[in-house]
Amino acid sequence: MRLDRHSAKLTNAAVALGVFLVMLGVVAGIWKVYDTANNAHHAICALRNDRIHSIDEAKEFLKKHPQGIPGITRADIERSITQQQETVRAFRFADC
C-alpha cells in the first residue's frame, strides 16, 4: 500500500517528533544523573571537611586534656580520631 504525499509528510513528522521526544528524555535523564552526582559530591565534601575539622578539634582537646576527662578516656578520643581519619581516607577520591 502506497502512502500519498500528505500521509507521508504526517508519518515523517510523527517519526521526527518521536525521535525528538526520545532524545529529550535521554537529555533529561542525563541531566538528572549529573545533578544527583553533583549533590552527592557536595555532600561527601561537606562530610569530609567536617571530619577533618573534628580531627583537629579532638587533637587540640587532647593537648589540653592529655588524660581525657571523667567518662571519656584518652583512648576513647584517640579511637574517635582514628575512625574519623578512616572516613577522610575513604572520601579521598572526592576532589574537594
Residue-level pLDDT, tens digit, the chain, 96 residues: 555 776 767 788 889 899 999 999 999 999 999 999 999 999 999 999 999 999 999 999 999 999 999 999 999 999 999 999 999 999 988 888
What local confidence, expressed as pLDDT, does residue 79 receive?
97
In-domain check, residue 95? no
Phi, psi dihedral angles at 54 (to 5 degrees): -65, -40
Q: Residue 3 has what pLDDT? A: 57
pTM (2 d.p.): 0.68
Q: How many domains does the chain have?
A: 1
Residue with cell 502506497: 2
36: which 3 cell numbers? 544527583
Which domain range does residue 79 map to?
Answer: 5-90
pLDDT at 96: 87
